[in-house]
Every structure is written in C-alpha cells, then in structure tokens.
Structure 1
Amino acid sequence: MRASLIQIAVEPDESVNARRERVASLVGSQRGADLVVLPELWPVGAFAYTAFEDEAEPFEGPTHQVMAKAAAEAGVWLHAGSFVERASDGALYNTSLVFSPEGERVASYRKIHLFGFDKGEAVMMGAGEELVTVALPQTTLGLATCYDLRFPELFRGLVDAGADTLVVAAGWPERRRAHWTLLAQARAVENQAYVLAVGTAGTHADVPQAGHSIVVDPWGEVLAEAGGDEEILTVEFDPARTAATRDQFPALKDRRLGLAAPR
C-alpha cells in the first residue's frame, strides 16, 4: 500500500483560499497513491486562534468541496486533515474529513482532546464524542488529531473497533518535537499497528511547527520521516504486517480489563 503524507507549510502571507487551491494541486500530484493524508487545521493554522471565528466554515463548505474534488480527480483515498467547522448551532469544532477515490465523503471526525488548557481551542471549540474508523480495501484506519496522541486510551479504543492503521493529523509545535516522535512510536508499539502521523511546517501565529511527519511500523520501527520544511513523504507499507505482528507477539491478548480500583 502506498501512502503520501503532505506536510503543508502554513504561512501568514498566503490566503486561506490560495492555500486551499495549492493543497488541492498537491493532492492531485499524488495520483497512483492509495492514501493521501493532510495535517491538522492547515487552512488557517493550528495555533492561529484569532482567525478561527472568521475562517470557520459550514461542514460542507469550501474545504469540503475542494477536497472532495481533489480526491476524485486524483483517484485516491484522502484524509483531508482538519478545518474549523461551524456547526448549525454556531459551535466550532476541529473536524477531519475522509473522502473515497470517487470524491464521496465516507467519514468525519471531531477532535476529542482539545489543546490549550484554559485558552485557544480548549475554550473556543466543542469536543468530539465519537471514535471513528474507516474501512479501506487494504486496511482499517483509526482517526486521531494532534493532542489526541497523548491519550493512549483513545488508540486502544480504535484498535478495539478494528483499526490496524492509526492516522494522526497534527499541527505540532517545534518545541515539543521530541514528544511527537516518541509518542508516535509508542502508539505503534503498544497497539501493534502502523502509525501515519503528518504535521505542518511553517509558523502559525509565531509558533514554529515541528514538521517531521513520520510513518512507524507495528514494531515501532520508523519507515520514513520528513524534515522540517514543506514536503511530501511517500512510503510503501504492507498492512498485513499488523496481523502478522499480533500473531507473532500476541501481547494484546494479555490485556486485563475491569480490574478493581485500589482500596
């Protein structure tokens, strides 16, 4: 299976509309890939909180429309990263979209763990409440977004729901890049699953981005890693290795659930 992770540079001097069209062209350049993955909040920037209200879109707004067309024209499964969704009740969400090679939307995921503690998306956005998996012909994807990567129980839930490839769309800051790599490998090892984690490049609201998108196999080996600038990271991997790894080293079968709380 061939996957292309597009590590988009988000810079303040490029308009959202211009970036949308540029990213659609980048998706189009990946014809022949099975899966293309974009990062978190690439239309506006994950740390550009002051732009969230102005750039929020309805669910089937411009980003949905442009990405659906891009998936169909390239003939790829497209995880279109995430955008700022304005729901019908006015609430904002950090929402990811997945499209089929025919341009049909097959899934959406609202980010569950919101970053910022007492500011930013943590106070501006609503949290998602549902785990989301997507069945492709070759593998089942489990969807996560950025800060979700720090919460292993989410990924266990995705594995229990049948995921064998875990996809993380992120806007991860450079100052915590070591955590990004460490956590991506940890999620792969503990769940015996592939992890495809794509971040952004550039600077969002004066916050330098880590880049370094990464693909990790079920043993925790790094198959490919990007640098710090805009880049398309393409990797061939065999989804069947997930089942083989779990058979060879059946650690997941030894999980003990429902233990009593300490007295």
Structure 2
Amino acid sequence: MSALNVSLLQTTLYWQDSAANLAHFSGLLAQLKATDLVVLPEMFTTGFSMQSAEIAEVEPGPGLRWLTEQAKALNAALTGSLAVKTAADGYVNRLYFVTPDGIVSYYDKKHLFRMAGEQHAYQAGQQRVIVRWLGLRFCLQVCYDLRFPVFSRNRNDYDVLIYVANWPAARRHAWSSLLLARAIENQAYVLGVNRVGQDGNDIHYSGDSMVVDYQGGVVASLAKADAGVLTATLDGSALAQYRQAFPAHLDADHFTLN
C-alpha cells in the first residue's frame, strides 16, 4: 500500500458567492507544494446555505469544472462538496472526488442536518461511496454523517474516511471526539476538514481540522480558529501492518443496511 500526501484547506467562506470562493481557493492552491490529495470544506463555493434553488449548480457547473481544472493543474485529486441540482429537479449536497485524469466520483450526503432544515432543502443520498486513489481506498462522508457510525462502519473496504464539514464552534468537542472514535473503531485514517469564520446566518465555526491515524492518534491538526493548510502523509504500509498485527475487524458484528 502506498504513502500519500494530503492537504486540508481550513478557511473562511464567502456567503453564497461561488465566484469569490473559487477565486479564493485558486489562490490557496497556487501556494501548495507537491501534494496527492486536496480536501476542501463542505459547500466550499457557498457556505452551508439552505437556499438550494438559488445556489445549486447544474452539472457540469462552475464548481465541478474548477475542480477538474485544478486537479489537472496540480496533478492531484481534489474533493469538496457543492449544492447540486439533479436531473430530477431535486437538490443534493454532493461531495465530488476528482482525479487529475478527469475521472469524477461523487457521494450525496445521506444524513441531512434537520436542526438547520437541510432535509427540506436537499434530498438524502442512499449509497456509501468508496473511491480508489494511488493505492488507497477512501470512504466519502459529509459533516453530520460523522454522528452515525453504522453508515461509516469499515467492512474491510476502505483505508481512509473523509469528512468535509461546516461544523459549528458550539459543538466543537463532539467534532473532535467523533473523528477520533471513527478512526479507532474502523482502524482507518480519518481526514476531517472544517471551515472557520462566520456565515450568513451568524453561525461561528472553529475549524479544528485534523488528520487522525488508525489508532486514534492525531497526526496533524489546526486547533485554532485560523485559516491554514494542514498537511500530512498517510502511510498505507503502516496501516496494513497494524491491521495484520491487531485484526479486530475479524471479530466485528455482521449486519446489513436497509
């Protein structure tokens, strides 16, 4: 299994202004050194807005085109979520994973945050999505999904969990604690990227982005509510050796999801 360099972008977002956010992220990416994967926050073009009819893109919209262009220019995969209008005239919170050769995978957020009315503005996805990149397998998840461990249970089908989020500062303890729990119980790396700043609904975000290893150790973190780029290396060989030496997954309960 490969070693892979990741870059998590923790930053503020311009409220419902896709052009401003894409320009902002273009500037950040231009400063990156060699990386294999860039992880952006949830709804990185708009912030966590329930105005789905006003902000959603019709594929391929400017956000997806930008992801594709940047992945090619950086020779790295990019992942981040957008509000997207579906062919059936519904709306989803869609997490894209785009590789330099133009391959686009996506996961539609399953657990919609009812405390903000997300279930009224967007439709829930139904399928877990695993993507492969440079020898590692990534399970794609979005924000509120973090609270539901059954959906993210490792069935020996992934090596890395990705959580992109707009997770409020008021619940920062839950964010940090659950990222560690998901890593330990699934014997997998966890990448959690959250935004900072204040959104158009006066919600404050503390960031707390982190990379957690398969034993629950924090490899790297941005604990302060400041913008920044978090970098780390995921060691696939070390992960494989740990799973072989401590194969707890062999004793996991078997179950199916409806």
TM-score, normalised relative to structure 1: 0.90
Q: Which residue of 2 aligns with 1:147?
A: 144
The question of whether the paired residues in 1 share the 8 Å contact of 2:110 and 2:124 is answered with yes
- Percent identity of equivalent pairs: 33
Task: Verify: 1:224 aligned to 2:223, yes or no.
Answer: no
Describe the SS at the equivalent of 1:215: strand
Write out per-residue CA displacement over residues 46-96 of structure 1, whole angstroms, 9 at most, x where no aligned residue: 1x32x33211111210100111101111111111x1011011222110001
CA distance 1:101–1:29, change in 2 (3 Å): farther
State the AA in 1 paired with 2:107. Y
Give the drift of 1:210: 2.3
Map 1:56-205 → 2, pairs under 5 A: 56-79=56-79, 81-102=80-101, 104-117=102-115, 119-156=116-153, 159-160=154-155, 162-204=157-199, 205=201
Q: Please give the alpha-carbon distance, in whole angstroms, between the structure 1 residues aligned to 2:149 and 2:114.
A: 19
Aligned match of 2:210: 214
2:11 aligns with one of 8, 27, 35:
8
Give the number of aligned pairs.
251
- Residue 239 (structure 1) shift: 1.9
Distance 1:28 1:71, change over 3 A: farther
1:161 Cα offset (Å): 6.0
Indicate if the aligned counterparts of 1:2 and 1:34 stay in contact, CA closer than 8 A.
Answer: yes
Q: TM-score, normalised by structure 2?
A: 0.92
Q: For the Cα contact (< 8 Å) 2:172–2:206, is it kept in 1?
A: yes
Gaps of 5+ in 1: none
Q: Secondary structure at the match of 2:57?
A: coil
Is 1:21–1:66's contact at 8 Å kept on the other side of the alignment? Answer: no
**Per-residue CA distance 1:177-235 (angstroms, 9 max, x = gap):** 00000000000000000000101111122000120101000000001111212111111
**Structure 2 spans left out of the alignment, 5+ residues:** none
